[in-house]
Amino acid sequence: MADALKCLLGESLIKGKGKTVVETTSLVGQGKVLGLYFSAHWCPPCRGFTPKLAAFYEKFKASDKSDLLEIVFISSDRDEKSFTEYYNEMPWLALPFSDRDRKV
């Protein structure tokens, strides 16, 4: 399972404005759930949904089951500036913008 996830998402993901690198294999484990969030700065429905998802995520992460859920933002933004501005609103992991072609 860890190898399949590495193949899908690469070796590592970013968190917290890209300052922290998280190994993809750390997301695998018994009972863990991984959400892939395909979204973009230019998409109005996405912009409306992101704050709702963030509120749910933060509430879940404050629970005693916080280690069982992770979300990964997979950008459809057209440039790195838009990606960075949008990702700065998110509390979860992200596929680096430079690696966004993996989504294809």
- Residues 49-103 pLDDT 10s: 999 999 999 999 999 999 999 999 999 999 999 999 999 999 999 999 988 777 7
CA 71 and chain centroid, separation:
5
Q: What is the pTM of this model?
A: 0.91
Topology given in CATH for the domain delimited by 2-103:
Glutaredoxin (3.40.30)
Given the structure tokens 């230019």, which residue do they identify? 42
Model confidence over 13-64: pLDDT tens digits?
999 876 789 999 999 989 999 999 999 999 999 999 999 999 999 999 999 9
What's the confidence (pLDDT) of residue 62?
97
Amino acid type, 71: I
Q: Report yes or no: 69 and 35 within 8 Å, Cβ to Cβ.
A: yes
33 Cβ contact list (under 8 Å, min separation 6): 68, 69, 70
Among residues 93, 46, 49, which one has the least CA distance to residue 73?
Answer: 93
Q: What are the domain boundaries of the chain?
A: 2-103
pLDDT of residue 102: 78
